[in-house]
Structure 1
Amino acid sequence: MIVLGIILLIIGLVAKISVLTTIGVILVVVGAVLAILGSTGRAIGGRRHWF
């Protein structure tokens, strides 16, 4: 999710498309939060692992 967010962020900045930039930022933030919570061992949404 973080990688997809970074890709959309870069494409949005290069192509000057603000919607892609906004979606990219949101995906990066959500991906980082999920990664941090997952690394601490907390169950997210009732699951221990997301794979």
Structure 2
Amino acid sequence: MLVGLLVVALVIWLVLAVLGIVIHGLFWLAIIGVVLFVATAVYGGVKRSALRR
């Protein structure tokens, strides 16, 4: 359940980043998308490693 939610969040952040790059005027949207994508990926990695223990 948690992994599915993290995957959905990663996809949303990735879409926001791509939209920000495609729409040149919304460069800040790309920055936010990339930051949130990285934060979600790190959070998912930490949670996944904690669940393995």
TM bracket (short chain): 0.7 to 0.9
What TM-score do the two structures reach when normalised by structure 1? 0.73
Q: Give aligned pairs, total.
A: 42
Q: TM-score, normalised by structure 2?
A: 0.70
Unmatched 5+ stretches in structure 1: 43-51
Matched-pair identity in %: 29
- Give structure 1 regions of 4+ aligned residues with deviation exceeding 2 angstroms: none
1:1-51 equivalences under 5 Å are 1-16=9-24, 17-41=26-50
Deviation at 1:25, TM superposition (A): 0.6
**Structure (1 or 2) with the greater helix fraction:** 2
Structure 2: tracts of 5 or more residues without a match: 1-8
Following TM superposition, by how much is the alpha carbon of 1:7 offset from its aligned partner in structure 2, in angstroms? 0.6
- Partners of 1:4 and 1:27 within 8 A in 2: no
In structure 2, give the amino acid aligned to 1:13.
Answer: I
